[in-house]
Structure 1
């Protein structure tokens, strides 16, 4: 999206047609409001970028089907030339015509027709160049079918458009809608505009509307329409004095029969513009972030490098993209309805005044015809940026061009920089509403993403702080490692041929996050269907399971105008976090996942685990939708965004920590209730504090040894790359699945053996790593300075004295448990109570789980078992023996 520069932000409003409330569609669901349909169609207009078109920015839906559109705006328009004293020269007329045709041709390439050309919709920037406004009104309203007013102005409509007449779907007298207008209808409108410029006056303004239409239709009998119009309006002499090139252009535009009228593309190549076209460079659309083309090929350094330096009074905000400026305007207190109300575009009426008829006591009847407020008012209100500029006045100019390397930390900090540094400690919801903070973050991420993938490490680093909502879609793509020409790959997938899954997709989409206006629109359903079908077709070894639509929703919402990127993100996300979850028979994968989750509950909260097991409330009853949809079936989108901002920084075991964190928020209610109450509780999940959930998930994740969440059905190791939560050399950084396998690694267990153990196992390499870190006095200590780990050797004293892990304690199993594994002496009596809270690793000969299970029953947290027992450690040479007594 291009920068603001000398443009302004403008807003205009209109109403969509209201639908009857008691009518349902063929699927039995209520009809989609026309305002929702318009909102969905509008989205593609934000991607239509051209120097001759005003950039669309946003659309807002209000009460009673009101829609407010925000777009690039300029104060001057073609109306300034429609006065005799401002009549432009022939060269200027040709220039305007050429620039309008450039905009129309670009629109036509994207399947758009203006249909509403008028002097007020042909704006002029500060350099006198044409900017077409409101060019998307015809498209977003489905060719006028979703509104109660006609699209276009009678004086400028082409004859074939007038001949079709007006149409409304609820009109019983019309069986079929008129054919949509084509590109040639805009050429006629352009001809009328050019004629008015040359004549210095407006046409057909002083006669009745019906007379105007009759006159336009009678022009079909005339050989020379230009001459007839000139005679009718008393400007024949003026028109005759025009150069032949201008007259020829007018005649080609004002050709009555569409079959003989040229298109914008044909007129652009007409010899009449030979002297004009040489001054214009063909527009080239900027290369997107994910493509096979060079993104920087167009960049050229100036001869004088000092030209890049900005003056002290430079307007840095105007250099930012229009969508960024509007986003910041909203954060700074901008209110669209308030702005329109202040300009009296939106007027409130007492309820009684909206009645079609009402009678006073004296019998006097008041009535009203059609409420004209529901018709189109094409007034565009300029949004003032004064409040935003005042809010950002203290932001240092260096902030608009941040350094990305280490020297940034050595720069002197301004007051505003110090304030922004302090803002990092504030809750996320406050940071996301802080105008200055968001400006800094957006600029930084914008630079990092433009340098992606070369700055991928810095993207990870900054995402650990937070992700600005405005760039979340691209930031997620960067975190998922999306690269290459994703559009070509997506277009190569057959999304049209019917497949057996189509029926289930059609059923699921109308139920997926339909509270959201964007996803509930018909365009949203179409895109949903295409992305889901592309994934199903491109993964023949997997199948569509209910829940896949929920997984797709966040990516589609953030990349609504880029289906290829939504598909690419979804395709990268699933194998990382849901590997083989969508097999035709996924029972073994799901059961292993739920068993590991049960062990994680016991590891972090044994008291809660004991209670849930006693009442039989196992994860199979509530956690499958959590993990199959990565919580998108549980939480609304705005919570999922915050949750996934952190999830995407973690490895495939991080969802376990999220699940435990959710249970801990419900801990008191779960402990106080039985099975039936817990079922009811999860059938309508209470409000979850997502920020607290994220914070506690990170803490749980850092307390969990890597190998404790090992799953043999997880994604195989990657060749290269580190997708850890912290992109550093710390212990808990990478996914255990990605680590090279050695003799000290965890061995796979059968599902039956895994379910038989309450506590998780950790690998010998994990134990060695943790012990070395704790002995070196590194960061693997808690706030009291004690090591996070304690190794409990449950072999006999004789075996312990033959060799043990340095620093481990010996609590023999045979003195704690009897022959039938009954408890003889509580392990806590042996001094283990003082180690409560640390990671307790139980070491034995044959990995007896009864000792660990008893510790869990005694509510000892963070209990795990050494996989392979002491035998795994014997070849390492790390076992020590006690020093002989002297």
Structure 2
């Protein structure tokens, strides 16, 4: 992406032809408006960058099928052929947009004869494959030839002739031996053109498509070789995800004060065009307002825009076609004064940020202090704050230059700048390597049985979004989904996969390979084995663990939902199968996944509990039928609150409490990375206890029937060791690592007999014998021992026993009494005996 340098941003508008309102496609759905079709096809223009070309930055839809486009305007021409005329290059860039719109909406003067011969037609969603192609490389070569000839002639071709006459003229060119000569005689400019330029035009304007060169062959023409020394050939930049070596060029001078000295230096011009435009919008820039102020867009009262009525006698009444709806080539310059004024207090240091380990010796400026305070504001405010976003964009731009940079997840814990969210997610997911080559190697064209289901699902997936609802969006959806299905033969396509794909495709619309790579990395991390042909055991285990998480964090709500029979099977499957993309719009998913990608596979459980807690009062007040209706149309959920509470729930959850057999084995996160450390964070890996005897202290897999029979989750012995901060006997040669968070509040309840408790128990645990605290039926009795529990309500309660059935029953009764954070030691005290960490009471003297 090029820097702004001395260029300016410009905007223009045009109108797409409206479609009839009473016509539907072959799939029965309304036809996609032409403006949305152009919007989707336009996106590829944003990827075309060259030091000598105007760059397209953005496009947006306005009222009445209007489209407002933004370009970066350059002040140097391509070669002497255009007489260094900036206006002519703007005209060329303006005409290029027609090449990416449906054939019936392009400039007829530039259409190739074979395109005109196809006639005008509308593409319907259900007949994209069957419809004739509106264009192709050879047709575009003709259009480029007409554009270049127009620039050489110094004026527009055929613009003063009626459309029907233009088409006739172009068609009649087919009987001419030398089309360039005919056009040159029409304009009297052939003698002024160099021979190599005439050769180039003659090759472009060959009437039979088979005789025209391809774009690659066109670049080999001598006319381009002649200017190669003055204008270096454009080379694709080394991709962030590429097999080629790359250098980030992040060297900074020793004295930063020298770097940032000079009040007159324009740091903003050193940023890329898309960054400047993004900041311009945040600073109050409004395309429609700018175009309206220049009378390019004219607003009229409704009474002045009545249609033209024709009565039976042929008399017409009403308004003729508004001239403001006709094409206007005027390009309006977008002033950056407001943006520069907004950023006037941002010092030069903000454009050259130092990372965490480089802060020594850097003076704190007033602006940096203000920006630090801004990080505590609500996320939606931070994303609209111009100064704050500038600092975040500059910082992430540097961090993302090195995907292995440790500070990227650390900074993502604060927030992710929307402009760089796509690359940030890819980095957090560990996407690397030559992803484009891998994607290109996948067969996305051969028909497979899943094609039909994909075709049915795509038109229903986030179609409120203009980009994803465009035909080009559907094509990209189809290719990415098909690539995933083909490249994962052991898995199958389940409904919901399209919703999972949507966020990645939206953020990487012009990079299908990156969208595919991100989705391929996301699914095994959070949805391991969810897309097996028979995924019933995976889903049931997931929902059972979720039920235990509800009981662990909110026993009152869990008791009520179980009493009315409103189990997670009835509402939570779409949540987890699509990671909430089926129930939330994209803008909420972005904020949710910014945090989700920092956590492990257990974090979705916490999100689910946080959603239920937002609906808690309504759920507790309603029965089964009302709850069903409530979830059929899910009420508005405060996503920022949901994220905040999810993090709190995650940090209160012992790591082994969410153990699942059908989960991908992952390495523990490094210290300080992630959304926050859950309880017993370091006990995720046995190697954190190198001096323990050789014994397995982790969770043991349970049969699904046994797992469903238990209300409270189990935790591993290694979790208990960490939660109780057991230092153990002398054989610990090195201290056990501890979280840097506040000391955990935990109560270990040993329900064995007093005799067994006296033979050895966990240090700090209390003894409430099961026989004296529970009836033969398992009911919890009111006794002095159980009163002790009431004084510790709110702590994490770990039930210890040699008999797992007794421990599970005791924990279930605590949940019935609305005790939160109750769990059971997996394997019982027998596992703890082998660790040598049990304490024996000193004998009484």
> Quick check: TM above 0.5?
yes
CA distance in 1, matches of 2:530, 2:174: 67
CA contact (8 A) 1:490 1:567 kept: yes
Does residue 34 of structure 1 match 2:34? Answer: yes
How does 1:408-427 map onto structure 2 within 5 Å? 408=359, 410-427=361-378
Q: CA deviation at 1:51?
A: 2.4
Cα separation, partners in 2 of 1:207 and 1:583, compared to 1, 3 Å: closer
CA distance in 2, matches of 1:274, 1:575: 50
CA distance in 2, matches of 1:207, 1:670: 70
CA distance in 2, matches of 1:74, 1:604: 59
CA contact (8 A) 2:443 2:486 kept: yes
How does 1:182-197 map onto structure 2 within 5 Å? 182-196=140-154
CA distance in 1, matches of 2:739, 2:794: 14
- The structure 2 residue matched to 1:688, chosen from 630, 637, 644, is 637
How does 1:567-716 map onto structure 2 within 5 Å? 567-716=516-665
CA contact (8 A) 2:458 2:498 kept: yes
Which residue pairs with 2:126 in the alignment?
none
Q: CA deviation at 1:830?
A: 3.4
CA contact (8 A) 2:54 2:89 kept: no
Q: CA deviation at 1:311?
A: 4.7
CA distance in 2, matches of 1:203, 1:683: 59
CA distance in 2, matches of 1:224, 1:587: 70
CA distance in 1, matches of 2:550, 2:371: 38
Query: Structure 1 length normalisation: TM-score?
Result: 0.84
How does 1:102-141 map onto structure 2 within 5 Å? 120-123=87-90, 132-141=92-101
CA contact (8 A) 2:683 2:719 kept: no
CA distance in 2, matches of 1:251, 1:521: 39
Q: CA deviation at 1:503?
A: 1.3
Paired residue secondary structure (2:797):
strand
CA distance in 2, matches of 1:162, 1:583: 48
Which residue pairs with 2:72 in the alignment?
72
Deviation by residue 1:414-469 (Cα, 9 ceiling, x = unmatched): 1110000001111111100100000000110011101222x1x2111000010011
Q: CA deviation at 1:745?
A: 1.0
Unaligned runs of 5+ in 1: 79-91, 100-117, 124-130
CA distance in 1, matches of 2:77, 2:339: 26
Cα separation, partners in 2 of 1:548 and 1:162, compared to 1, 3 Å: closer
Which residue pairs with 1:346 in the alignment?
297
Cα separation, partners in 2 of 1:564 and 1:61, compared to 1, 3 Å: same
CA distance in 2, matches of 1:210, 1:717: 67
Does residue 253 of structure 1 match 2:201? Answer: yes
Does residue 380 of structure 1 match 2:331? Answer: yes
CA contact (8 A) 2:439 2:483 kept: yes
Q: CA deviation at 1:578?
A: 0.8
Q: CA deviation at 1:391?
A: 0.4
Which residue pairs with 1:813 in the alignment?
770
Cα separation, partners in 2 of 1:187 and 1:730, compared to 1, 3 Å: same
Deviation by residue 1:73-108 (Cα, 9 ceiling, x = unmatched): 247889xxxxxxxxxxxxx635x59x9xxxxxxxxx
CA contact (8 A) 1:793 1:842 kept: yes
CA contact (8 A) 2:444 2:482 kept: yes
Which residue pairs with 1:745 in the alignment?
698
Cα separation, partners in 2 of 1:261 and 1:560, compared to 1, 3 Å: closer
Which residue pairs with 2:792 in the alignment?
835
CA distance in 2, matches of 1:318, 1:25: 47
Which residue pairs with 2:495 in the alignment?
546
CA distance in 1, matches of 2:342, 2:64: 33
Q: CA deviation at 1:734?
A: 7.0
Does residue 878 of structure 1 match 2:801? Answer: no
CA contact (8 A) 2:94 2:329 kept: no
- The structure 2 residue matched to 1:93, chosen from 68, 80, 102, is 80
Deviation by residue 1:782-822 (Cα, 9 ceiling, x = unmatched): 98x7x411111111112111211111111111111133323
Query: Structure 2 length normalisation: TM-score?
Result: 0.88
Q: CA deviation at 1:366?
A: 5.8
CA distance in 2, matches of 1:383, 1:652: 46
Q: What root-mean-square deviation, in Å, do the aligned CA atoms of Structure 1 and Structure 2 show?
A: 3.8
Q: CA deviation at 1:179?
A: 6.8
Q: CA deviation at 1:712?
A: 1.3
How does 1:782-801 map onto structure 2 within 5 Å? 787-801=744-758
Q: CA deviation at 1:312?
A: 3.7
Q: CA deviation at 1:823?
A: 3.4
CA contact (8 A) 2:260 2:348 kept: no
Q: CA deviation at 1:257?
A: 5.1
Cα separation, partners in 2 of 1:655 and 1:608, compared to 1, 3 Å: same
CA contact (8 A) 2:458 2:477 kept: yes
